[in-house]
Chains A and B, each alone.
Chain A
Amino acid sequence: MNRFGLPPQILRLVLLTALIVGTYAVARTLLTPATFGQYGHYRGAALEETASRKPLFAGAKACDECHSDVSEKATKGHKLISCESCHSASSAHVRNPDITTVKLTDNSCLRCHSSDPARPARHKQVTTIEHYPGDHCIECHLPHQPNKSP
């Protein structure tokens, strides 16, 4: 008997349990990442880390700043297409206009306009062997006003 009035084996058991629970509590506090549980049962900082990548595509609005003339003149058909669909990821060019954008060829037109039975019929399509073979598309079609010729 001791001053708690408990048999020694019970006291030892209580102390041991307290030690285990205490160690668990300390370990849990130390090991759980700081933002765990901020939004749910996961690390809240994972959202921030996923969002920290740098975008490569600048977005259609970015081009307007310096090339608003192009987007204003663009006509039916190609008006709704984002600049970067054709000119490809250009955020480097937006930050520094000296870095040129990708050079475009006839293949970039044909990617959208070569005929394919799986394409919706209302989409304007051409067959290369029939549609003025040997000439470049932009010799007859302005890229931003495709129904006009230069």
Chain B
Amino acid sequence: MKPSCSRRRLLGLLAGGAGWLASLPFARTAKAAVKNVFASAKTPDGYNPTKHHWLMCIDVDRCIGCGLCAEACKAENAVPQSSNYFRTWIERYIIKKPAPGVAALRGDVIVDSPNGGRNGFPPTLVPKAEILKAFFVPKLCNLCEHSPCAQACPVGATFDTPDGVVLVDPTYCIGCGFCIQACPYGCRFMNPDTHTAEKCTLCYHRITRGLQPACVEVCPTKARIFGDLKNPTEKDPLQEFIRHNKVFTLKPHLGTEPRVLYANIDKEVR
């Protein structure tokens, strides 16, 4: 009896299958190339995201807590006005002297951020004599290397762009809020109008046009240092910042590897 499938035929089929599998990556590249011709995602003025890498750093010593950054951010990005929604905000840390007779270096820590510092800070109720030291800390998205928010998103709506920004695609976001819980820095919120997660975009619409983020633009004391790691200028502010300061990250024990560096920060800051 003639076998239903000859050896020659089976080997031929296997070889054909292997060839098809091997050609898949090339087919995919070719498809992507064709797609790029038809639908290219070019940002303003021929901006190429792969040619930049943006970063913001914070010098806590310079912040005077005027709150112009928080105000400018809300205006620039049409962030909902209610005091629950912020892309950037300022916290005031007041560290009290230890109570008399207590063997401690410092007493209670009082942190407040009335309306995110958006209207400036009212005078503190803590009497001056009780204050050991006090300072302002501006907060924003920490641009983590290992972003917990991106890992938590079930639909891949949050991603790292090639130019170092973490963005949300609002057409993908299903508003489940997992990313908001996942962010250890509290940098995200649910937009009450669109019901999608929102966060600092480093003013993506400004940096792609060669402007500075709104908060950097209005900061009167250069407490926010912003630059492009791939195109350092002469006397680059970021390089100078690193050279002259000892820098830290927030919550380093979480392993999120924030790219945003803070200078002159205190142990109490979370």
Residues of A at the B interface (CB closer than 8 Å) are 1, 5-7, 34-35, 37-48, 50-57, 59-60, 80-82, 84-85, 89, 111-112, 114, 116-120, 123
Contact = CB atoms under 8 A, between A and B. Distances in A.
B56 interface: no
Contact of B219 (A1, A52, A85): A85
Given A34-B35, A43-B41, A116-B121, 15 more contacts: A5-B4, A34-B39, A39-B50, A46-B41, A46-B172, A47-B161, A51-B43, A51-B204, A54-B205, A55-B214, A57-B218, A82-B220, A114-B120, A117-B128, A117-B131
Interface string B137-175: 000000000000000000011011110000101011000
Contact of A35 (B35, B208, B219): B35
B171 A46 contact: yes
Given A41-B159, A117-B131, A47 B68 contact: no
A39 B220 CA distance: 36
Contact of A57 (B61, B72, B162, B204): B72
A7 B5 CA distance: 11
Contacts, number: 147
**Chain B: number of interface residues, binned into ranges:** 35 or more
B92 A118 contact: yes
B205 to A, nearest CB: 4
SS class, residues of chain A in contact with chain B: loop
